[in-house]
Chains A and B, each alone.
Chain A
């Protein structure tokens, strides 16, 4: 056989094609629809999986090489940060509450993303799509772990982090992020990739990882900044996967367009509701603010998402439903959310507070149309009440939206003074919603959403009491027992920041660093 002395170097695109394409084959001893049983039931039609383009074209050797380099850097910083008591460098101990939300509410979702992408990475019949999904599955376990590892040292010194694997499955507001991901993974593989790969990753995660993480850096939290940016560098790959997946489905068959459109509508709304928590973190929980939620929303959703939807218009895709309401609401939702958590602070695993004058002025300047008119008076009133010893705690378990599971605290489109209620009847029962968006989602798939594990209902049904609780005994305290079931340590994890263990310890430890007594 004649062999050339030196073979010519293959280009990136060619090389990647040989390394990935045609590894699979049309099975004949078992039918393809048994090997890939979930590829068709959602109604998405794929004619040629070879048309899938993976723009990043990473082979495993390159993946290991670059990811190892990221990991080396990340863990060197985490180690140094921990050894130097870096947690005492944050601007204020209030800040730490925002990363409690991160560990409890977001890291478990990273884990779910890992399992979900393993599932669709097994189930898609096309090689390039499978490889991209499995690589994302691998990245997602990285994100869960690097977050846990970075925040582990905070857990040693502050409350509210200590039982995150339990809290995500039990605490009332944790059902918001949890149900979001359960919803995505329990959907079919194509809906999953639209929900997570496209709506969540491409349209929404920039809001969490870019401005919030930049805010962590601004507040002296190098650990969070490092894992955040390091994770987001993988997200760049994930976003291109999400965009590729959408384009691929739209190009494969015109019949896919209305199905995909409905998923875009649903998952933009679902993601938008979920990100209310991030809005609150940015506007209320970062002692030094980087930008307001509204500004971040304008850059990353309106401008960037807008460009994206303009790009997709050629396939017949229109921007997601309810944009008008979303645009109106950006002046309101972060304030409405903070007001809710302030009222329910006794039932949470992080601390709350009322903004200082300085912070209220910042909020007024960022929200000139809404803050002074609707929220400042309420907050000033609550602050005064607290000073007079009448700290307001809401002790009634709130009604939850059947779809997004957020308490019914949002207001009517265009009228921030009136709470929005919607309802649907299904098989003899009445279901309640916070918005038209959430009602639409339910009405399309009622059999799915009637299954929701709503914490408020579960408490009333007696399914959320601590181990060994006896609700028939005379001195039974139901709320104390619920806190026990949740893993929330009453008087330590919950309540006001003012007077909390966190506040006292942080000040004492900082004091040790700055004077000799």
Chain B
């Protein structure tokens, strides 16, 4: 399977988001660069609203990801609960 990725700015707001992604996607790999992180994962990668909310202690709208998102790859599917990137081949 091909690699999908999500790149986020490295700051206080994204720390719990990154943590929850890494917890929910055990196959993902975290790569740190100056001022940013890139999370690579084979096949697919999912951000779950509930997991982020558990860590930040307030309601989280997945569209808030926009604020600190740098880049991504893969086909995106977004619902109220999950933000998923995946390759079909």
Within the complex, are A and B direct neighbours (CB within 8 Å)?
Answer: yes
A239 and B89 contact, CB distance less than 8 A: no
Contacts of A66 in B (CB 8 A): 63-64, 66-67
Q: Which of B63, B64, B71, B89 contacts A235 (CB 8 A)?
A: B71
State whether A311 touches B70 (Cβ < 8 A): no
- A147, B33: Cα distance in complex, Å: 22
Task: Assess whether A218 is interfacial by the CB under 8 Å rule.
Answer: yes
**Binary interface profile of B, 58-80, with partner A (CB < 8 Å = 1, else 0)?**
00000110111111111111111
Chain B residues with CB below 8 A from A373, complex form: none
23 example contacts (A-B, Cβ-Cβ < 8 A) are as follows A55-B78, A56-B78, A66-B66, A66-B67, A69-B67, A206-B71, A209-B70, A214-B33, A214-B36, A218-B34, A232-B70, A232-B71, A233-B66, A236-B69, A236-B70, A240-B72, A240-B76, A290-B34, A306-B2, A307-B2, A310-B2, A311-B75, A314-B89
Distance between Cα atoms of A375 and B55 in the complex (Å): 52
Which residues on A are within 8 Å of B, measured CB to CB?
Answer: 11-13, 55-58, 62, 66, 69-70, 73, 206, 209-211, 214-215, 217-218, 225, 229, 232-233, 235-237, 239-240, 243, 290, 303-304, 306-308, 310-311, 313-314
**Tally of A-B Cβ pairs under 8 angstroms:** 96
- Residues of chain A with a CB closer than 8 A to B75's CB: 55, 243, 311
Whether B70 pairs with A58 at a CB distance below 8 angstroms is no
Is B87 touching A311 in the complex (CB atoms < 8 A)?
A: yes
Nearest 6 A/B pairs, CB to CB: A307-B2, A217-B35, A55-B76, A217-B34, A218-B34, A233-B69
| Number of residues of chain B lying within 8 A (CB) of chain A | 31
Closest to B6 in A: A236
Query: How many angstroms between the C-alpha atoms of A276 and B4 in the bound complex?
Result: 25
Interface residues of B in 1-21 (CB under 8 A from A): 2-5, 7, 9
Q: Whose C-beta in chain A lies nearest to the C-beta of B33?
A: A214
Residues A311 and B9 in contact, CB atoms below 8 Å apart: no
Besides A210-B36, A210-B38, 17 more A-B contacts (Cβ < 8 Å) are A11-B79, A12-B78, A55-B76, A55-B78, A56-B76, A58-B63, A210-B70, A211-B33, A214-B33, A229-B36, A237-B66, A239-B72, A303-B3, A304-B5, A307-B4, A307-B87, A311-B88
Q: Decide if A239 touches B67 in the complex (CB within 8 Å).
A: no
Partner of B68, one of A211, A233, A306, A310: A233
Bound together, the chains give a CA A232 to CA B78 distance in angstroms of 19
> What residues of A have a CB within 8 angstroms of the CB of B79 in the complex?
11-13
Cross-chain contact B87 with A310 (CB below 8 angstroms):
yes
